[in-house]
Amino acid sequence: MVKIFFAIFLIGGLLQSAMATGSESFLLGAVENLPTSLRIVKTCGNWQYGQQEGYYRLIIGDVHNGAGSEVYVQFITNPDQNTASKLIKTLAFSELNNDHSQYYFQSIDCSTVGKFTYVNVTGQYEHDEIPKMHHISIKLIDMNHYQLVEKKK
């Protein structure tokens, strides 16, 4: 019993010490201001066009209180010693982000095949008469071009 009390006392003391030494959460404000509609935000894969290179940020956001959702891919440059990373392009997909032809996306990831990155999303579609899961692959060709392919599973 004395040992448990001592352990709790010690952990409490360590936590207080960490707070007192000022290890701030630098991004707290930014994270608190992240809209609740952005449900999934993740990085995935790498890109290189000309002299620029970086990574992709994949985003799924909800619309209409989560009745539907939309998908976006952002191109972000890698930071180096002298330069911070920079968002240089946000790709939206009109075929998928359509108020009258709405999906609800449940997952997003990416894979690299050869020199192309494929963003893979799964979701339900509002006009399906028989509910099913759609598996859609977005082939990223460059910063302005892509190809959509629905996979049959």
* Residue in 93, 104, 118, 146 binding other proteins, rule: CB under 8 A: 104
Output the six-digit token pair for 34: 């992240």
Looking at this protein, which amino acid is placed at residue 117? T
**By CB under 8 A, which span of 5-13, 20-28, 96-104, 134-142 interacts with other proteins?**
96-104
| Exposed / middle / buried, residue 124 (Cβ in 10 Å: 0-12, 13-18, 19+) | middle
Contact residues for 103 (Cβ-Cβ < 8 A; gap 6+) = 68, 69, 96, 121, 123, 124, 125, 126, 134
Q: Say whether residue 127 binds other proteins (CB under 8 A).
A: yes
3-state secondary structure of 11: helix
* Residue in 23, 25, 65, 144 binding other proteins, rule: CB under 8 A: 65
Q: Say whether residue 74 binds other proteins (CB under 8 A).
A: no
Q: Say whether residue 100 binds other proteins (CB under 8 A).
A: yes
Beta strands in the chain (DSSP E): 38-49, 52-63, 68-77, 87-92, 103-113, 116-125, 134-140, 146-151
Residues 151 and 136: beta-carbon distance below 8 Å: yes
CB of 53: closest distance to other proteins in angstroms? 28
Q: What is the CA 80 to chain-centroid distance, rounded? A: 22
* Residue in 7, 10, 34, 67 binding other proteins, rule: CB under 8 A: 67
CB of 100: closest distance to other proteins in angstroms? 6
* Residue in 40, 41, 63, 88 binding other proteins, rule: CB under 8 A: 63
CB of 65: closest distance to other proteins in angstroms? 5
Q: Say whether residue 102 binds other proteins (CB under 8 A).
A: yes
Give the interface with other proteins as residue ranges (CB under 8 A).
Answer: 35, 37, 63-68, 99-102, 104, 124, 126-127, 129, 131
